[in-house]
Amino acid sequence: MQQTTPSLTIPPTSVAVLGNYVNTTAGNDDARRRLLLRIALIATVFFALFLASCSSDLPQSSLNPRSAEAESIDKLWDFILILGTVVFAIVAGALAYAIIRFRKRPGNEAEPKQVHGNTKLEIGWTLIPVVLLVIIAVPTLTTLFDLRSPAEGNFVRVDVIGHQWWWEFQYPDFVDENGRPLTTANEMHIPAGKTAELTMTSVDVIHSFWVPSLAGKRDVVPGRDTVMKITPDADIAGQMVPGQCAEYCGLAHADMRFRVFVDSETDFETWAAGQLEAAPIPASGDAAAGYETFTQFCTTCHQAKVVATDGTVEVIGAALGPDLTHFGGRTSIAAGLEENTAEHLAAWIDDPSSVKPMSPELNDIEAGRIMGMPAYGLDEQQIQELVALLETWK
């Protein structure tokens, strides 16, 4: 009878090559070398996967945490990743060992001992997981209650409103002379090193606000307020952190993205003050013609706070779509989908649904149901004028 002594140092990943291992005869160095090579290869792949699950420098990665909240989750994740990997290695190792050690070998016709069980052993392996789970449960609960505790001290409040398929941000602590809060869309600014408390709701279906590098996600539910905290690291001022909707919300769910700008405290104050200003109604040129078109079509759904040359300030339009007062100052259009360039904007105005799939045919303006921006069939000239207008509204 041939006896190949199984080596206990074989990692669990060797399951995949067992077929060859058992055919390996002692002294057949070639086969053994090939086997070890394969094991090394598989182990490398698994190790790469493990490393990829540890940390990352990707923009939207939960493994690239840049806030107090995301970091506390990431720490917890690293802990359970290591624990889970150890448990996997032990159990899969036992499985692999059983496969190698107890495999029927040629000539071995002896029946195995008929073991029906072992109560002590079984109670033991019922209790070990209990201990492991207690070890996981403690940091889980402390982190959970930490994250869910209300923001304290000096924090910034942001109201987040989910729409199919864009994001509205209002800052109730920043209001203009008429009590209108700072209102913007798809690009949220918050100060570095300071907690922002987000109070979120939706006007239509359920969305979910997710900026993996800054916080775990939180659903945005119609008829309810959900709250979350973000305390960006002080040293990431000036960074843009992307996020997107994580709860399937219909046609353009994949394109319901947004950008979070983490500003230094002074930049944030400057930005907020600027956002409360009105946009100038142009007196002449393309932009002025564009303003005519704007008031004819766009204000059906979009709002803007405008100031005439004589200094009269008024808010025009309906607040069904994104507020466009400072549209030109945003870096992206169509809910973070494309960079804000004249070219992209022109294509968008010409046929919005070709850029981002929407269902404007289902709009019911009176009922307040907006499911996309329609194409108004504007001519080239009108579009260029509108673009000229919007790009001046920084």
Partner 1 sequence: MALTTTNDDLGYTPPSTKGLWSWITTIDHKRIGIMYAVSSLVFFIVGGLEALLIRTQLATANGTLVSADAYNQLFTMHGLTMVFAVVMPIAAAFQNYFIPLMIGARDVAFPRLNAFAYWLFLFSVLLLTSSFFLGGSPDGAWVGYAPLSTQIQEYVRMDYYSIGAQLLGFASLAGSINFVATIFTMRAPGMTLMRMPVFVWMSVVSSFLLIFSLPVIGVGLWQIFIDRNLGGLFYEAQAAGDPLLWQHLFWIFGHPEVYVLILPAFGIVSEILPVFSRKPLFGYSFVVFSGIAIGFLGFGVWAHHMFTAGMGPVAEAGFGLATMLIAIPTGVKIFNWIGTMWGGRLTFSTPMLFTVGFIAMFLIGGISGVTHAVVPANTQQHDSYYVVAHFHYVLFGGAVFGYVAGAYYWFPKWTGRMMNETIGKWNFWIMFIGFNLTFAPQHILGLDGMPRRTYRYADGMGWDVWNLMSTIGAFLIALSFLFFIYNLIASYRNGKVAGNDPWDGRTLEWTTTSPPPVYNFEEIPVVHHLDDFWYRKYGVDEEGRSVKLTPEQAGKPDVVIEEHGIHMPSPSFYPIVSAAGIAILGAALVFISSGPIGFGVLAVGAVVTLWGLVGWAAEPATREAH
* Residue 199 binds to partner 1 (criterion: CB under 8 A): no
Minimum distance from CB of 292 to partner 1 (Å)?
Answer: 34
- In angstroms, rounded to a whole number, what is the distance separating the alpha carbons of residues 191 and 235? 11
Q: According to CB under 8 A, which one of 31, 43, 76, 236 is a site residue for partner 1?
A: 76
Determine the 3-state secondary structure of 327 from DSSP. helix
Q: Under DSSP, is residue 66 helix (H, G, I), strand (E, B) or coil? A: coil
Among 26, 37, 41, 98, binds partner 1 (CB under 8 A): 98
Q: Among residues 68 and 289, whose Cβ is nearest to partner 1?
A: 68
Residue bearing tokens 């409040």? 157
Q: Is residue 347 close enough to count as binding partner 1 by CB under 8 A?
A: no
Nearer to partner 1, 33 or 75 (CB): 75
Greatest CA separation found in the chain?
103
| 240 counts as binding partner 1 under rule CB under 8 A | no
Q: Is residue 255 at the binding interface for partner 1, with CB under 8 A as the rule?
A: yes
The CA–CA distances, whole Å, from 228 to 88, 200, 323, 380 equal: 34, 8, 24, 44
Q: In angstroms, what is the minimal distance from the CB of 296 to partner 1?
A: 28
Surface-to-core class of residue 300, CB atoms within 10 Å of its CB (0-12 exposed, 13-18 middle, 19+ buried):
middle
Spatial strand order of the sheet with 226-230 comes to: 181-185, 166-175, 156-163, 196-202, 226-230
Rounded CA gap, 53 and 81, in Å? Answer: 8
Instruction: Report the distance separating Cα 205 and Cα 358, nearest Å.
Output: 15
Binding residue count for partner 1, defined by CB under 8 A: 91
Q: Does 4 bind partner 1 (CB under 8 A)?
A: no
**Would you count residue 375 as binding partner 1 (CB under 8 A)?**
no
Task: Answer yes or no whether residue 221 interacts with partner 1 by CB under 8 A.
Answer: yes
Which CB sits closer to partner 1, 206 or 288? 206
Could you say whether residue 143 binds partner 1 (CB under 8 A)? yes
By CB under 8 A, which span of 33-41, 189-197, 292-300, 357-365 interacts with partner 1?
Answer: 357-365
Q: Which is nearer to partner 1, 212 or 290 (CB)?
A: 212
Check residue 104 for interaction with partner 1 (CB under 8 A): yes
